[in-house]
Structure formats: structure tokens, C-alpha cells
Structure 1
Amino acid sequence: MTRSAAIVLLLLSGCTLQRPVPSEPDATPMRIVSMNPCVDTILMEIADSKQIAAISHYSQDPRASSVPLKWAMQYPVVSGAAEDVIAASPDLVIAGPHVSIQTIAALKRLGIPLMQVSVPETVDESKKQISDIAARIGHRQTGANLNAKIDTAIAAAQSGAPPVSALIWQGSGLVPGKGTLADELMTRTGFRNLSSMLGLKKWDILPIEGLLSQPPAVLLAGQANMGAGNADSNRMLSHPVLRNIGARIKIAHYPSSLLHCGGPIIIKSVARLAEIRRLMEAKP
């Protein structure tokens, strides 16, 4: 029997898991379950801690977390399975685009209030997402305050100097291109993303040969770490060729935890980008 079929039978049988009592659509939720690590970062900033019933299991994984582990360890976690979510007795589930359709269907069948969010691709989209979540959980002003902090951080990180050519190069050569939030943050902080000039797609893989064909002034990459299980490591940084052309390309540490989420992570991202930009300007 497939996993999805088992879930359906479990729900139809009335079964072993306690069925959550759905809240009124406009009621302030008091048992929020987040199935998305990026949503976790927003809830950490705007929700009352007592409102959070569970968070994404990724947030307790140091290889993938974008929140402090000390904060994440306070809460139970859920995977992408409907059983986990239902067992948490939520009165609101916030799910990202990568949750399976079987899990979403199961939650809807039980009448559990569900808020589905997308991956923001611009600063404005990210701020709207914060506002939407804040309104749904009863913290409009806290959401507005967070958006104001994002605006302030971006303004402080802007550079009036000519843009510096750059690439974000993560993992096995993953590069964010035009149309991504990462690209917008680079532009706003004084960098010119070379992704389009290299013919790369919105998200693409750039092998080391392609990197060397038109090297940027600065490479924004995770630390070279040969230890297994380090999400910030980029093993290609240990390639002898890169070590030998250090005078042509500055390699700046830009951890993967800054790459995949918007929300409050924007504040950390632009701060790091601005720091790297200042170092480039100070270089003799």
C-alpha cells in the first residue's frame, strides 16, 4: 500500500489520531504548525511563542536551519506527512509550495485551516508575505515592524559606488540568476550578477570551467569544508585551479542559510553583502 493510500484510509476510518477541532476562519490561531523553514523564521519574529505548536523539521537540522537552533529546539517538529501535522492538533497550518498534494488534501478533508504560501522572488513579495501571515495570526503591527526593519536594513546596505561583478556559487555550483530574490539583493547592495551574461537560467548549475571562462570580481560561496554534512560547504572551492587564481577572484564567505529564505533573513543577507562590498571598496 502506498503512503498516500494509507493516509486516506487512516482519515476515513476515524482512527487513532485525534482529529483537530477547526477554528473559525478569522479566529486568532493558538496552535500554529509551520511546515516550512522559511515560515519558521517569520514566526520567530512576529508570533507569540505560545501560538507555535510545531515547526518544520528542517529548522532543527544545523545543515538546513535558518533560525537559531536554541530557538528551534523549544518546539516539536513536523515532517511533510499528514500524520505528523494532525497529531499536533493545529488550528492553523502554514505550508509552503513543496508540501505534497496528498498531505494538503488530507488537511483540507479534515477542515484544518490552511494557509499556503509561495517562495517570494522579490523584496516586495517577501514583505507582502510577512504582512499576510501577520494578519492571519493576529499580529499586524509586529509584521509591519518587521517590514520596516527590512526597509531600513536595505537602505543602510546600498552602495553609491559602481557595481562590482559577482556570482553566488553554492553547493555543487548552484547559481541564482535574474528573477530571484538573491539577484535583487545583490543589485541593491552594489553587485552585478554575472549569471545572465553566462547564459544561466533562473536557478542553474555552473561548473568550474564555466566559472573560469568569465570570472567575477567576487565569488559569494560557502566555506570550503570537506567534512560530510556541512550545508555551507562548497567542495569545489578546494579545487587547485581556484586556489591558483585567488588574485583574480576574491572568494567571500556567503553561507547557504542566507540564500533560500526571504523574511527576516533579508536583513542578515544585505548586511553580509554590504560588508563584502565595503571590503571590496577598501581593497587597494
Structure 2
Amino acid sequence: MRFGWCIFPIFALAGCASQPVIAPNGVVSNNPCIDAVLAEIALPGQVTAISSYSHDPDSASAPLAWSAKLPAIGTGAEELLLARPKLVLTGNLAASGANAVLARAGVKTVAIGVAPTIAEDIQQIRTIAAALGRVDAGEALISDIHKSLPDTQISGSPMSAIIWQNGGFVAGKGTLQDELLARHGFRNASAQYGLSAWSVLPLETLVRNPPQVIFMPTAARGADVHALDARQKLLRHLGNRTQIVDFPDSLLFCGGPTIMEVSAILTRTRNSIQRAIP
């Protein structure tokens, strides 16, 4: 459930009594990927608002139990200013106009983009940790991420695979997910379909020329259930040619702690396929 936001505090008692109050002089994030890092490294009470996406099980990268304790906030400049934060952590593509307004108002803002590599993602964690004064906690998270990745080159020929999400969305070459596939002994099949970094792959094209592994959501809620059921029925005729592995949508777009979850899925899949080979 997403928390609402009361634009006019003067009417708080009349119209927003049930809404969580954003404490002033705290750290505010309106980016779900940043929220996931904050959940791991921030001190209790240090974060006073997070992205509304982090309250939605289908889009949250941060633990829902952590997110539920914090009010949500959007990307608009007025909304952010009313929260009276001492620091705003945001995506540099999502609200550049708002970021400029915050800067003119004297609010410190740190903008984090979409990291295309593991190395850049690690640097972003360090940037967030430094802004919070939590350098040691940031390094501890980075250490855990490194431990989750294979420390040696995967032997054998790479297995063709694709991360294929709702709507046919695919992470192609030049993305963090592409590097993660390669690190775990997979070859991103997006290139064989002529796809760029972020593209849409139609189901019909995928079925005509499937890879060895398709990482995709295998559970959905509400209206998505019908679309997912139809997709899975069409994919079933692939039989033993392709292995379908559960990969929630929420793992596609973020790095940070999400890398550890993705690494665990890729490692299990690679190991299970290798054990099945005579």
C-alpha cells in the first residue's frame, strides 16, 4: 500500500490525519534503487521518506518490512521542499528540474544514475554512504556484494540466456544485468535478436528462436495474472529446449543489494544445469 502525501500541512488535522508525517531534517529518497541501499546502511531514524515504489511488492527493491515504516514521497520539487530534508537522494534522470529547484533552495541533493557496470554500481554505493556519513557500512555492503559473485572464471561454454520481463522488456548489452549474466557463465541472447541496451522482445520472436534459459517472472497479481498465464502457456511448447527460471520484475532495474539476489539465482541456475549434463 502506498502512503499518500499532504501538500498543504496547514490542513493536516482536517484532511491528512491518517497520513504518516515526514520528519524534518532527515534524509529523503525518491528512488527505489537508492532505497534498497539505504535499507542496508542507514542508521535507524536517519531516513525520513522513501519512494512510493518501495511500498509496492511488485516494484520494491528494499525489504517491504523496512519500507512500511517510512512515509513515501514523490519527485516533485514542491513535495520535496515541504518535507524540509537536509539531504535528498534521487535519480539524475527522474527529476532534474526538481533537483535544480532544490539546489536553488539550498537543499543538498545527490543524484544517482543507472549504473551500467558492477564497478560503477559499487562507486554509487560509496557515494551514498559518504553522503550519509556511513562509509564503513557502505564498505560492508560492498564486501557482501563481492562475496556473492563468482571469484573465478566460469568454465565451459557460456549458456545462452535472456532476462525477459513483463511487457517483453529485456536488459541487453551495456547493462548491469548483462555483466552479471556474463560473470555467471551465461551469454546474453539479446544480441541475437538485434536488441540494444534496453529493448522490448516480442513473445513470438522469443518462441521462434529461444535461448537455453529464460529468466522471467513466474508469479503475478491482479490483471497481470492473465497476461502471465497466457505467456507461460505459449512458452510451454518449448519443452526441454529451454529452462524457465523465476526472476521477479523488481530484480531487473536496480543494483546494490539486488546484485546479491540476482547472483544467487544465476548461480543456482548454472549449477543445476551443469548437474543435469551427463
Asked if Structure 1 and Structure 2 have the same fold, meaning a TM-score greater than 0.5 normalized by the shorter chain, the answer is yes
Q: Name the structure 1 match of 2:252.
A: 259
Q: Please, what TM-score do these two structures have when normalized by structure 1?
A: 0.84
Any conservation in 1 of the 2:55–2:68 contact (CA below 8 Å)? yes
Residue pairs, 1:193-232, within 5 angstroms: 193-223=188-218, 225=220, 227-228=222-223
- Aligned: 1:238 with 2:237: no
Question: Aligned with 2:167: secondary structure?
Answer: coil
Deviation at 1:209, TM superposition (A): 2.1
Looking at structure 2, the residues matched to 228 and 158 of structure 1 have their Cα atoms a distance apart, in angstroms, of: 42
Gaps of 5+ in 2: 1-6, 12-23
After superposition, the CA RMSD in angstroms is 2.4
Change (3 A) 1:122 1:201: same
Q: Please, what TM-score do these two structures have when normalized by structure 2?
A: 0.85
Looking at structure 1, the residues matched to 183 and 95 of structure 2 have their Cα atoms a distance apart, in angstroms, of: 35
Q: Deviations over 1:129-157 (max 9, x none)?
A: 01111111111111111111111110369
Query: How many residue pairs end up in the alignment?
Result: 258
Looking at structure 1, the residues matched to 78 and 52 of structure 2 have their Cα atoms a distance apart, in angstroms, of: 14
Q: Deviations over 1:94-115 (max 9, x none)?
A: 1103433332232122111111
Choose which of 40, 61, 66 in structure 2 pairs with 1:66.
61
Q: Name the structure 2 match of 1:107.
A: 102
Q: Deviations over 1:64-119 (max 9, x none)?
A: 11122111011111012223222222000011034333322321221111111111
| Amino acid of the structure 1 residue aligned with 2:268 | E
Any conservation in 2 of the 1:91–1:113 contact (CA below 8 Å)? yes
Looking at structure 1, the residues matched to 228 and 93 of structure 2 have their Cα atoms a distance apart, in angstroms, of: 25
Looking at structure 2, the residues matched to 30 and 148 of structure 1 have their Cα atoms a distance apart, in angstroms, of: 30
Question: Aligned with 2:166: secondary structure?
Answer: coil
- Aligned: 1:32 with 2:19: no
Change (3 A) 1:260 1:234: farther
| Amino acid of the structure 1 residue aligned with 2:232 | S
Any conservation in 2 of the 1:224–1:237 contact (CA below 8 Å)? no
Residue pairs, 1:52-131, within 5 angstroms: 52-131=47-126
Any conservation in 2 of the 1:165–1:193 contact (CA below 8 Å)? yes
| Amino acid of the structure 2 residue aligned with 1:95 | T
Any conservation in 1 of the 2:155–2:185 contact (CA below 8 Å)? yes
Q: Name the structure 2 match of 1:272.
A: 265
Residue pairs, 1:152-171, within 5 angstroms: 152-155=147-150, 159-171=154-166
Any conservation in 2 of the 1:172–1:236 contact (CA below 8 Å)? no
- State the identity %: 39
Question: Aligned with 1:155: secondary structure?
Answer: coil
Looking at structure 2, the residues matched to 270 and 156 of structure 1 have their Cα atoms a distance apart, in angstroms, of: 12
Q: Name the structure 1 match of 2:137.
A: 142
Deviation at 1:229, TM superposition (A): 5.2
Gaps of 5+ in 1: 1-6, 18-28
Q: Name the structure 1 match of 2:44.
A: 49
